[in-house]
Amino acid sequence: MNQRIPVTELAPDFRGRAEEALADGQLRNNFRVAMDSLMTKRANAFPDADEREGLRELGNRLKAGALSRLPDLLEQLEQKLTENGVKVHWAETVEEANDLVHGIIEARKGRQVVKGKSMVSEEMEMNDYLAERGIECLESDMGEYIVQLDNEKPSHIIMPAIHKNARQVSKLFHEKLGEPETEDVNQLIQIGRRTLRRKFMDADVGVSGVNFAIAETGTLLLVENEGNGRMSTTAPPVHIAVTGIEKVVPNLRDVVPLVSLLTRSALGQPITTYVNLISGPRKPDELDGPEEVHLVLLDNGRTGAFADAQMRQTLNCIRCGACMNHCPVYTRVGGHTYGEVYPGPIGKIITPHMAGLDKVPDHPSASSLCGACGEVCPVKIPIPELLQRLRQENVKDPEQPQQVKGGGAKYSRTERWIWRGWQMLNTRPGLYRSFLWAATRFRALAPKKAGPWTENHSAPVPARRSLHDLAARHLDNNGGRPS
Amino acid sequence: MSARSNILGKLRNSLAGTTPRPDEFDEGLVTRPWRYAPEDRIARLRSLMEAVHTEVHQCRSDNWPELVADLLNKRNLTNLLCAPSKEHGRALQAHFEATEQKVELLAYDRPVEAWKEELFWNVDASLTGTLGGIAATGTIVLWPDRHEPRLMSLVPPVHIALLRASEIHDNLYDMMVAQDWAAGLPTNVLLVSGPSKTADIEQVLAYGAHGPRELIVLVLEDV
Ligand code: SF4
C-alpha cells in the first residue's frame, strides 16, 4: 500500500526548503506555467469588473453574516441533517475526528476507503491514521491519486499535482502500476480511470469534504469536475463527509453567488462539471446511494481564530486557491516549501491557528505584501493585513498571554532594545543630530557585516554628509533661497 | 464536556455582546447579469455546453427516439440503460421495438448491490430525463429518483439527457425560486455541465476522468 509520508527529503525549515525550490528549474517552470494560466483563466471568467466586485462584496457579506451567527447555524444544520437521516459528529481535534471516522468504518467492518478531494482530511492526515489501523484509504481525485502514489503531499489545494509534469507522472505510473510509459495526458488519465473504477466499486466507505453546508435544508454541497466526488459519495454503502465548522451557510440561495465565486476564482470556469447536493442517505424506495451518511464537524483551531474579531475573517475562506495562484512567492517556491497542509497566502493565515505560529514563524514574513492575494480573494479576506498582524504576534513578549496560538516565537530581547534605542534616537532632535554628525564623520567605521543582508548585498555605508547638512549648506550659498 | 458543547460554547463566548449581521443577500447581483430573451436561452446553453465537449442536439419532442438510435448505432454501442417506468422510457422502448433496433435496453430495476459489477463494466450508455436546464452556466439539473437512480447518470461512459426547451431557466437562482427548492430537496440533486473532465496533469484538459466520457443533451422542442 502506498501511504503518504511527510516529504522527508526536504529541508526542515522554510528557508532551507525555499532555497532548494528556487534552485529547481523544473519545479519553478511547472509552477510558473500553471499559475500564469490559472491567472488568465480567472481574469477571463470575470470580464465585467463591476459584476466581479459586486459579487465579491456579496460573498464577503454572506460569509461574515454566517459567521456572526455560527453557533446557531451549526445547531440548525445539525437538526436539519438529523431529520434527513444524516448522523452529525463533532470533533475538537484531528485525533478525535480520526477516531470518529475510524469508529464508523470499524462498525461496518470496512477495509477499503475511497476518498474524494478533501483538505480537511489532509489536516487530519486521515490516510496515515487509517493505514496504521489496517484500512486502505485511497485518493480518487486524479491529482491527489498521483501525489499519494508518489508518497507526497499536495502542493496546491485545487491542483494537488501541479508540481509534476506529464513525463514525471508517466514515470510514476510505470514504476508503481507497471503501465507502459506515455506522455499523452489522455492516456495517463485513462490509466487512472481504470485503476480507480475498480476501487469505487469495491470500497466499503467513501470519504469526501464539503464545500458548503446549507443549514436551511440540511444539505452538503460539493463541487468537482472529475466525478470522483460523486462516485465516492454514491457508490460505497457508507459516506462520511468531513468538514470545518466554518463551512455552514444559512440559506440554499446563498450558494448561488458563493459557488459562482468559487469556480470562477479557482479555475476560471462558469461552474464546475458537477455540483452535487446531498441531503440524506438512500431512502427505502431508492435503489442506490449510501445507506449511511455521516458528517464530521471539525474545529482544529478554528474556534481560536474565531475568538479574535480580526482573525475571524480567515474563516471566510472558501478554499478557491486564487490567492496562491496570484502570489509571487508561492509561484517561485511552490507548495511544498510551506511544509504544511495549506500553502500560499491562505496557508500563512490559517496554519497558525491549527499548528501554532511558533511552528511556522517564517511564514508571515515570506511575503512582499504586494497585496495580490487580498485583491483577488473572492470573499475579500484582507490577507496582507492579517499577515502584518501575525508579524506583530510573532514578536510579542512570550511571557505575556498570547492572542494567537504559539505567538511570540520570534521575540528577541536584543531586537527589542535596538528598536527602543532607534525610537529614542528619532524622537530627540539633539540626540539625532549628534548621531548623524558622528555617523557621517566616522563612516569608515560602519560595520562591514550586517547579518543576512550582507550575504547577498554590499553593506550600507552612510553618506559623506547628511541631507540635512547638504540642504543647510545649499541654502547658505544661495542666501536662503531654495534654488 | 462533549466536543459539541465545547465548540458551541467557545463560539458563543466569542460572540458575547455582538448582534448577528442582517441578511444582506442581494438577488439582483445573481440574476441581473444573467438574463436572456427566451429565444436566446437555447443558444446560450448550447454554446456553453459545447465549449466543454457536450454534444447538443435540438429535436422535436416526438422524434427524438430516432436520434437516440442513430447516436447509439454510430458509436456501435450494444446497450442502453433507461427507465421503462417513465414516459420517455416507454416512448424509446416503443420506437426501438417498432424499428427492430439491435441495441439492448436495460432497466435499473433492482438495488445497485444486485448488479454492481455489471453496471460498472458492461453498461455502454444511459438515458435520463432532467428537471430543467440553466442558460447562464450551460447546465442540466438532475433529481435522481427510484426510476432513474443516482449512478445511472454517472457510471455508464455515455450519458444522454433529455431537456425540454420550455424548462430552461435563465439562471440557478431563478430555477431554485421557481421550483421552491428550499422547501425540501431530494436525497441528491445534481447540476451537470458537461462530461467528466480533469486538468490535473499539466493543466491539460482530458475528458472521461471518472464519470461519463460523453454527455449528449437532446433539447426537445414542443411540436
Ligand atoms: S483566502 Fe480567499 S483567495 Fe485564498 S483560498 Fe481562501 S477564499 Fe480563495
A112-171: per-residue pLDDT in tens? 999 999 999 999 999 999 999 999 999 999 999 999 999 998 889 888 999 999 999 999
Give ligand 1 pocket residues (Cβ under 6 A): A 317-323, 345-346, 376-379, 381
Query: How near does any CA of chain A get to the CA of B197, in Å?
Result: 5
**Interval A365-384 mean pLDDT:** 97
**pLDDT at position B66, please?**
96
* Partners of residue A194 in chain B, C-beta under 8 Å: none
Look at residue B7 and tell me if it is in a domain.
Answer: no
Q: CA B170 to CA B44: how far, in whole Å?
A: 10
What is the rounded CA–CA span in Å between residue A159 and residue A154? 8
pLDDT tens digits along A242-255 = 999 999 999 999 99
- What is the mean predicted confidence (pLDDT) over A424-450? 92
- Domains, chain A, ordered by start: 7-304 (3.40.50.10420), 430-477 (no CATH)
d(CA A330, CA A18): 10
Chain A environment of B8 (Cβ under 8 Å): 71, 74-75
What residue spans of A343-428 are helical by DSSP H? 344-355, 372-376, 383-394, 413-427
The answer to which of A15-24, A234-243, A451-460 has the lowest mean pLDDT is A451-460
Q: Does residue B137 fall inside a structural domain?
A: yes
Q: Is A299 on the interface with B (CB under 8 A)?
A: yes
Chain A residues whose beta carbon lies within 8 Å of the beta carbon of residue B128? none
Domain of residue B128: give its range: 42-221
Predicted pLDDT of residue A5: 40
Task: Decide: A402 and A385 in contact? Cβ < 8 Å.
Answer: no
What mean pLDDT is predicted for residues A395-400? 91
Whether A383 contacts chain B with CB within 8 A: no
Comparison of pLDDT for A468 and A376, the residue scoring more: A376
CA dihedral A196, A198, A202, A204 (to 10 degrees): 10
pLDDT in tens, B12-51: 999 999 999 999 999 999 999 999 999 999 999 999 999 9
Q: Strand B132-134 vs strand B168-169: parallel, antiparallel, or unpaired? A: parallel
Indicate yes or no: CB of A250 within 8 angstroms of CB of B112: no
For residue B163, being part of any structural domain is answered with yes
Considering the domain boundaries, does residue B18 fall inside one?
Answer: no
Q: How far apart are CA B112 and CA A234, in angstroms?
A: 10
User: Which of A274, A300, A316, A380 has the most B C-beta neighbours within 10 Å, making it the best mutation to test the interface with B?
Assistant: A274
Computed over every residue of chain B, the mean pLDDT equals: 96
A2 pLDDT band (50/70/90 cuts)? Answer: very low
Contact A289 B195 (CB under 8 A): no
> Between A and B, how many residue pairs show a Cβ–Cβ distance under 8 A?
256
| Chain B residues whose beta carbon lies within 8 Å of the beta carbon of residue A281 | 187
What mean pLDDT do residues A295-306 have?
Answer: 98
Q: Say what the pLDDT of residue A10 is.
A: 67
pLDDT at position A9 is 58
Q: Is the pLDDT of residue A6 over 50?
A: no
In a domain, B25, yes or no: no
In this structure, what DSSP letter does residue B85 have?
Answer: T
User: What pLDDT shows up at residue A4?
Assistant: 40
- Distance, CA of A249 to chain centre: 20
Taking the C-alpha atoms of residue A383 and residue B80, their distance in angstroms, rounded to an integer, is 52
Looking at chain A, which residue has its C-alpha nearest residue B144? A286
Angle at the Cα of A326 (from A22 to A382), degrees rounded to 5? Answer: 120
Nearest chain A residue to B13, by CA: A307
List CB contacts of A458: < 8 A, sequence separation 6 or more.
none
Kindly state the percentage of chain A with pLDDT values over 90: 87
Q: In chain B, how long is the greatest CA-to-CA distance?
A: 74
* In the predicted structure, residue A12 carries a pLDDT above the cut 90: no
Mean pLDDT for the stretch of residues A367-373: 97
Question: Does residue A451 register a pLDDT over 90?
Answer: no
pLDDT of residue B223: 73
Across the range A262-284, mean pLDDT stands at 97
C-alpha to C-alpha distance for A6 and A22, rounded to whole angstroms:
20
Structural domain includes residue B22: no
| Chain B interface includes A254 (CB < 8 A) | yes
A390 CA → ligand 1 middle, Å: 17
**Cell digits for A44?**
477571463
Element (H, E) at A370: none
Give the least confident one: A101-105, A253-257, A344-348, A464-468.
Answer: A464-468
pLDDT at A303 over 70: yes
By C-alpha distance, which of B20, B62, B23, B33 is closest to B171?
Answer: B33
Whole-number percent of chain B with pLDDT over 70: 100
Report the pLDDT averaged over residues A252-263: 98
For A337, the grid coordinates are: 516549501
Q: Which long-range contacts (CB under 8 A, 24 or more apart) does A426-433 make?
A: A433/A468
> Can you give the CATH number for the domain in which B74 is found?
3.40.50.10420
Q: Whose CA is nearest to atom 8 of ligand 1?
A: A320
**Total domains present in chain B:** 1
In the structure grid, which three cell numbers stand for residue A338, read together? Answer: 510551506
Locate all alpha helices (DSSP H) within A268-317, ordered by sequence. Answer: 302-306
pLDDT, tens digit, 9 for 90 and up, residues A102-112: 999 999 999 99
Compute the mean pLDDT over every residue in chain A, rounded to the nearest whole number. 94
Residue A452 confidence (pLDDT): 82
> Which pLDDT band holds residue A414 (cuts at 50, 70, 90)?
very high
Give residue A404's pLDDT: 93
Nearest CA to ligand 1 atom 4: A323
Angle between helix axes B64-74 and B87-98 (nearest 10 degrees) is 70
Packing angle of the helix pair A25-45, A255-267 (nearest 10 deg): 140
Q: Is the pLDDT of residue A1 over 80?
A: no
Handedness of CA A125, A127, A131, A133 (dihedral sign): positive
Q: Report pLDDT digits (tens) over B83-136.
A: 999 999 999 999 999 999 999 999 999 999 999 999 999 999 999 999 999 999
Contact state of B7 with A143 under an 8 Å Cβ cutoff: no
What is the per-residue pLDDT for A354?
A: 96
Asked if residue B211 is part of any domain, the answer here is yes
Report the C-alpha gap between A338 and A321 in whole angstroms.
Answer: 15
